[in-house]
Amino acid sequence: MNQEFERLREQFLDNYKKACPIMTVLGDEVRQEIFLILIQTGGRGGIRVGDIQKMGHISRSAVSHHLKIMLDAGIISRRREGTKNYYYIDFRSTTVKPVIEFWQQAEPMLMLCNKISKESMKQ
């Protein structure tokens, strides 16, 4: 059991380390708002900065700043059409995969930790 636990714990920690940069980027409230707007407008081929500004009541410069951070992190993508930029969530991107894997492992890992803790108290 200990070897299996150690293996799972190492895998869990590795996924956490991979997920941290994405969770940090999405930890900002303005970026969360922008992310929600991008989800709400998904399937339209993207949304422009001005539309995000209006929907989120966020200044244009703040929207641009936060979109750049999200682009650099790989959370969102941009499609250019002439001089216009359209931002969208690319659900085919593998960038968010470590976050999904981390949270999928969280509950089983917590349950395993509780089980091991109870067993060690009995001894």
CATH architecture under which domain 2-122 falls: Orthogonal Bundle (1.10)
How many C-beta atoms lie closer than 10 Å to residue 94's C-beta?
A: 9
Taking the C-alpha atoms of residue 22 and residue 52, their distance in angstroms, rounded to an integer, is 21
Given this model, what pLDDT does residue 37 score? 96
Given this model, what pLDDT does residue 67 score? 98
Sorted by where each begins, the domain ranges of the chain are: 2-122
Q: At what angle do helices 97-122 and 2-25 cross, to 10 degrees?
A: 140
Encode the chain (123 residues) as per-residue pLDDT tens digits: 678 888 888 999 999 999 999 999 999 999 999 999 999 998 788 999 999 999 999 999 999 999 999 999 999 999 999 999 999 998 777 888 888 888 998 888 888 888 888 887 776
Instruction: Quickly list DSSP for 76-114.
Output: SEEEEETTEEEEE--TT-STTHHHHHHHHHHHHHHHHHH
